[in-house]
Structure 1
Amino acid sequence: MVLNNEQPSRLSQSERLARMRLARSSNIGPITFRKLLERFGTARDAIAQLPDIIAKTKGFRKIVLANREDTVAEIELAQKCDAKPIIWGDPEYPALLARIEDAPPYFYAIGRIALLTRPAIGLVGARNASANGCGFARKLSHGLCAAGYVVVSGMARGIDGAAHEAALQTAPNGEGGTIAVLGGGVDVIYPREHRELYGKLCEQGCIISEMPPGLNPQARHFPRRNRIISGLSYGTVVIEAGRNSGSLITARFAAEQGRDVFAVPGSPTDPRAAGPNSLIRDGAILCDSADVILDSLRDAVQNTHLFEDFHQFNTEARSPNINTDPSHYDDIAQSIVRDAENSGSKESSQSLEIVSPSEETPPIMRTEDQSDKVLDLLSTTPLLIDDLIRASKLPANSISGLLTELELAGRVERHPGNRVSRIAK
């Protein structure tokens, strides 16, 4: 089940560096990058034409070419953490990801890079997921990996972490596996409690990010991260997500990219079920088992329309057909505006704050925080207290006391068989 996205030859080192410089230039986003390669054939030729482009597109956002020395320094920083740049045109660049309009010009990868060429499914959901939700995520991830598929997620708390962990346990050496797409630099562990998971992903899975190494994640980075999760995947599954959850952004990207959207239904009294239930009302595929996903994937893998008009623009030898008519640059100017809109920020790449990963020690959790954690793990479906203890990673005596307090406060309800559930508000 390896996707055939091999290219005739590798890019030359000079072209690789030119593409990285072009991608890191201010106000040249993924759409503009792609438009420039379509127009000029190579990044080197596009860079040579930048002065003319800037002159012809005056009135739009200023373009500043990334410094060669800064780009080399970024590459050297990536090498220190064993990260490899995967550039548009490389044989390892995922064909399905390259198909989306705003595919990243390049990204960094650590771990089993071969996973990037295998059929994948995105699996996302709430950070404050219930134990039942995390359990179902593990079940789906196990079934998908056992069938040879790669599970793609974002290494966040809750559903993401559960999906990655199950995939690593299921397919350490097989065709299946897992890819984590980060919102910060590929070497930045976020959240901090996933340090151990991060280490396992580096060894047995694959970690990727389009951000420069050392960049701490910021809120505006995650929507960009989400379009990569869906772009790598034939379909995206949403498990537990509030109405304003970022997981719904991933689902929207998947639909816009022509991929399947799956949603796991939940109780209407649980706010975390609002997102999946609304997706199902809007036409998403109701998912109650891995078999539902696998049946759809068998059809999707054979859909050649996903790869129509797929180009890597690896024709370095071709001569650019350059037109000096100012109207010739209208589409490039429009792509600059669209990139700015997609980025959600008016700041240029030069304003990003590069920092070294800190070695902070996680703060000790207060009692009220522990109560919130227990409530987040519970849903209106009864859960074994033993499972709650395992999911919370809190001592059994702490759980007992917290449940007593929450029961007195009218927040939880006990059930026969040593089970407990959250009381719907």
Structure 2
Amino acid sequence: MNEHALLRDWLIALRTPGLGSVGLRERLAATQGSIGEALAHLRRHASALDARAPAWLEQPDEARIAADLAWLAEPGHRLLRFTDVDFPPQLETIAQPPAALFVSGDASLLLRPQVAMVGARSASVAGKANARAFARTLATAGFVVTSGLADGIDGAAHEAALEAGQPTVAVIGTGPDLVYPRKHRDLSSRVESHGALVSEFPPGTAARTDHFPRRNRIISGLSLGTLVVEAGLQSGSLITARLAGEQGREVFAVPGSIHNPLARGCHRLIREGARLVESASEIVESLIPAARALGVELAQRLEQSPADRQERGQTAIGGWRVDPEYQRLLDVLGHEQVALDELAARTGQTAAVLSSMLLMLELEGRVEGLPGGRYQRLPGG
């Protein structure tokens, strides 16, 4: 079966009423990943799904499927299926993992270490300033800032990452061709051009209240940790934080004034065990081991060395890009064990900048971090 036919079958399955991601995953597992066989089984047992399922499976809306295929045919658009080798492994361990994601932009960013940033839509001026500061530092430290494109903290986080010249990922609660809220049309376009827009919902799907809690599990699931910058006691951000905790991810919260209602949600999280943070460097330090583990897992999953991927013209797993400063650091590092302060003296870079660069090189398998804050270039690195 050619790719066009495979995509058509996937789109029919994804739009089948009453099936859902879990049902589709189960059916594909039973057919060893054959979407054609899965659809055939669904047609035989359609009555067990939704009342609308039999009619849809018997005669899908061809205009709707054609529109979906047209969207996927556009440059930079992709249906990232859980059967694809580069589907984010972070999502495989969450409750109700998505069967597929519609991606507009750079899908390889979903394989990079990410930090979710969430908070109040009606954020204060100070809250948005904090979000920008945290996002800027996290982005330049090598973490992809992931959020939901909402007003307030989400928008500030995306903006700051882009202003720092770094990519950002937005997981949205509509189809990938729609923008919500509409005021973020320009921001959405910039995220698409310099990062990735991600949705579990097919093109044309309008915003619905129940979509946003569903997308929150993907925001937290993609990320190594979730930072709540500002949130009231009824904030949806607390749902994302709860999901992150259930998924075994780190939860961070920024404290605020006891007189600020938008700080109460963060204070509750801290009382319940979230880590109180006052600077982004605390988050970077906390998540480096998880980022390294993710890099190892991805390398094993793809079963290719960095050189193999570069030879095939593929984006490196850790997101490290050819840069003269990185090459200079490797030259200075040599093949001996060197302490971070010695590297700082040799390169003239600050310890914070070097830590970020070394993290990316570690994720690429070019440098190894050793006890005592020492680093060593690996053979072939």
Tell me the TM-score normalised to structure 1 length.
Answer: 0.64
Question: Which residue number in structure 1 is paired with residue 164 of structure 2?
Answer: 170
Specify which of 117, 126, 143 is matched with residue 120 of structure 2: 126
Q: Residue 322 of structure 1 aligns with which residue?
A: none
Instruction: Give 1:127 shift.
Output: 0.6
In the aligned structure 2, how far is the partner of 1:278 from the partner of 1:141?
22
Alignment of 1:257 onto 2:251: no
Q: Aligned partners of 2:210, 2:14: CA distance in 1, in Å? A: 18
1:18 aligns with 2:12: no
Structure-1 separation of matches of 2:74 and 2:194: 19
State the shift of 1:61 in Å: 6.8
Aligned to 1:223: 213
Taking the aligned partners of 2:30 and 2:2, their CA distance within structure 1 comes to 18
SS of the residue aligned with 1:208?
A: strand
State the match for 1:39 in structure 2. Answer: 30
Once the two structures are TM-superposed, the CA of residue 150 in structure 1 deviates from its matched residue by 0.3
Instruction: Find the counterpart in structure 1 of residue 352 from structure 2.
Output: none
In structure 1, distance between residues paired with 2:159 and 2:140: 14
Q: Which amino acid aligns with 2:140?
A: A
Alignment partner of 1:96 is 2:90: yes
Task: Kindly indicate whether the alpha-carbon contact (under 8 Å) linking 2:11 and 2:68 is maintained by their aligned counterparts in 1.
Answer: no
Residue 141 of structure 1 deviates from its aligned partner by: 0.6
> Residue by residue, what CA displacement relative to the aligned partner does 1:352-410 show, whole Å, maximum 9, x if unpaired?
xxxxxxxxxxxxxxxxxxxxxxxxxxxxxxxxxxxxxxxxxxxxxxxxxxxxxxxxxxx
Residues 1:40 and 1:224: Cα distance change in structure 2 (over 3 Å):
same
Q: For the residues of structure 2 that align with 1:210 and 1:11, how far apart are their CA atoms?
A: 23
1:109 aligns with 2:96: no
1:278 to 257, 263, 268: 268
Query: Secondary structure in 2 aligned to 1:242?
Result: coil
Letter of the aligned partner of 1:195 in structure 2? R
Cα gap change, 1:238/1:227 in structure 2, threshold over 3 Å: closer, same or farther?
same
Given the superposition, is the C-alpha separation of residues 311 and 113 from structure 1 closer, same or farther in structure 2, using an over 3 Å criterion? closer
In 2, Cα distance between the equivalents of 1:195 and 1:68? 29
Q: 1:199-214 to 2 correspondence within 5 Å?
A: 199-214=189-204
The alpha-carbon distance between structure 1 residues 39 and 279, as it changes in their structure 2 partners (threshold 3 A), is same
> What is the match of residue 327 of structure 1?
none
Q: Match of 1:23, as an amino acid? A: L
Q: For 1:222-266, what per-residue CA distance to the aligned partner results, in whole angstroms no more than 9, with x for missing partners? A: 111111111111111111111111111111111111111111111
Residues 3-402 of structure 1 aligned to structure 2 (within 5 Å): 12-41=3-32, 42-54=34-46, 57=48, 63-64=53-54, 65-66=56-57, 67=60, 69=62, 70-79=64-73, 83-172=77-166, 177-303=167-293
Letter in 2 for 1:46: A
Match of 2:311 in 1: none
Deviation, structure 1 residue 187: 1.9
> Who is 2:373 aligned against?
none
Kindly provide the CA deviation profile for residues 272-309 of structure 1, in whole angstroms up to 9, marking residues without a partner as x. Answer: 111111111111111211112112211222457x979x
Question: What SS class does the counterpart of residue 252 from structure 2 fall into?
Answer: strand
Secondary structure in structure 1 of the residue aligned to 2:126: helix
* Runs (5+) with no aligned partner, structure 2: 303-381
Aligned length: 296
Q: CA deviation at 1:11?
A: 9.0
Q: In structure 2, do the counterparts of structure 1 residues 52 and 78 end up closer, same or farther at CA, with 3 Å as the change threshold? A: closer
More off after superposition, 86-95 vs 136-145: 86-95
Q: Structure 1 residues 114, 54: closer, same or farther in 2, change over 3 A? A: closer
Q: Give the TM-score normalised by the residue count of structure 2.
A: 0.71
**1:239–1:136 Cα change, 3 Å:** same
Q: What is the alpha-carbon distance in structure 2 between the residues aligned to residue 52 and residue 292 of structure 1?
A: 54
User: Hey, which of these two has a bigger chunk of helix by percent?
Assistant: 2
Distance 1:79 1:189 in 2: 20
Q: Which runs of 5+ in 1 are unaligned?
A: 1-9, 313-425
Question: Which consecutive segments of 4 or more residues in structure 1 shift more than 6 A?
Answer: none
Closer, same or farther: CA 113–286 of 1 in aligned 2, 3 Å = same
Relative to 1, partners in 2 of residues 1:300 and 1:61: Cα closer, same or farther, differing over 3 Å?
farther
Distance in 1 between residues matched to 2:73 and 2:114, nearest whole Å = 27
Question: Structure 1 pair 81/130, CA: closer, same or farther in 2 (3 Å)?
Answer: farther
1:208, 1:166 → 2: CA distance?
Answer: 19
Secondary structure at the counterpart of residue 301 of structure 1: helix
Cα-Cα RMSD:
2.9
Conserved 8 A contact 1:11-1:89? no
